[in-house]
Amino acid sequence: MNHLPEDFVFSQSSLQDYVDCPRRFQLKYLLRQRYPAPEVDDLLEFERRMAQGERFHHLLHQHAVGLPADVLQAGISDDEVRGWFDTYLANGLNGVPERRYPEYSLTVPLGDYRLLAKFDLLALGDDKALIIDWKTSRHVPRRDRLQARLQTVVYRYVLAKGGTALNGGNPIPPEQIEMRYWYADHDGQEVAFNYDAAQFKADADYLEGLVREIEDRERFPLTDDMARCAYCTYRSLCERGKYAGSLDEWEQIDEPTDLDDLDFDFDQIAEIAF
């Protein structure tokens, strides 16, 4: 049984939702159920941190398109954001190739659908294609958890499959691709992942398998991992608890919904013709 609209666009977020909890994927993307509850207990602080993350990303975009750093610094009123921006100026662009595409989106085919990746920054050199994801999280996840996240899988895969238009008509060899997470709140600590042809093939099999599984599903079961429900907006709907989890604890776990990635701008999608 196929429940997906013909024009469905997968993303790292929707696939992560599916892997975390098939029911959440169904509620959010197939039934488009409105959120009946907040994700965390301290909603004001949650929104403040989201706004800080957005401000920081906007600053980096403005800097990448040529606005002078001192002009941008003068306009920052939030001390934390100013500190993050200073850290970025100090080391955020170390070793980053010169041909840069900030906030760049690509889609590629995935089964009968499309798969979207929205990169904070793509930077291309002669033999390097670097994907940077700027993070403002208070906690740096364990490397193995980050490696397994759909963001790491999807971003590298999409660039290897769809980067032809950025590379003079030639595919970007997987071996040239690096995905780098950069943590503003940790003095610019980096967690980086290389790529190769074998991983690209494994990722293709994995992602296509997920889509086939979603298409064939009769039911979308609730996750067995009840800990996920504490931070899920559907917990009352699913009868998995009335109260939101603690924001402070949420930031300490390795797999939170990422504040930096909550906002997708579908207007900026660059369609790649195949």
What residues make contact with ligand SF4 under the rule CB under 6 A? Answer: 21, 23-24, 27, 222-223, 228-229, 232, 234-235, 238, 240
Nearer to ligand SF4, 22 or 163 (CB): 22
State the minimum distance, in angstroms, from the CB of residue 245 to ligand SF4: 11
State the minimum distance, in angstroms, from the CB of residue 147 to ligand SF4: 22
Give the separation between CA 77 and CA 162, rounded to whole angstroms: 39
Nearer to ligand SF4, 130 or 232 (CB): 232
State the minimum distance, in angstroms, from the CB of residue 59 to ligand SF4: 33
Helices 12-20/150-162 angle, 10° precision: 140
Structure tokens at 116: 């979207």
Nearer to ligand SF4, 3 or 240 (CB): 240
State the minimum distance, in angstroms, from the CB of residue 114 to ligand SF4: 24
Phi, psi for residue 201 in degrees, rounded to 5? -65, -40
189-194/9-11 β-pairing = unpaired
- What is each CA distance from 150 to 49, 50, 83, in whole angstroms? 23, 21, 29
**Residues 14, 27 contacting (CB under 8 angstroms):** no
Nearest-5° angle of CA 213, CA 218, CA 219? 95
Nearer to ligand SF4, 26 or 136 (CB): 26
Nearer to ligand SF4, 82 or 240 (CB): 240
Burial class (CB in 10 A: 0-12, 13-18, 19+), 267: exposed
Nearer to ligand SF4, 62 or 236 (CB): 236
State the minimum distance, in angstroms, from the CB of residue 31 to ligand SF4: 11
Nearer to ligand SF4, 38 or 111 (CB): 38
Instruction: Give the contacts of 221 (CB within 8 A, at least 6 positions apart).
Output: 22, 23
Local structure of residue 267 (DSSP, 8 states): G
Give the separation between CA 181 and CA 132, rounded to whole angstroms: 6
Partner residues linked to 107 by β-bridges: 116, 271
State the minimum distance, in angstroms, from the CB of residue 69 to ligand SF4: 42
State the minimum distance, in angstroms, from the CB of residue 36 to ligand SF4: 10
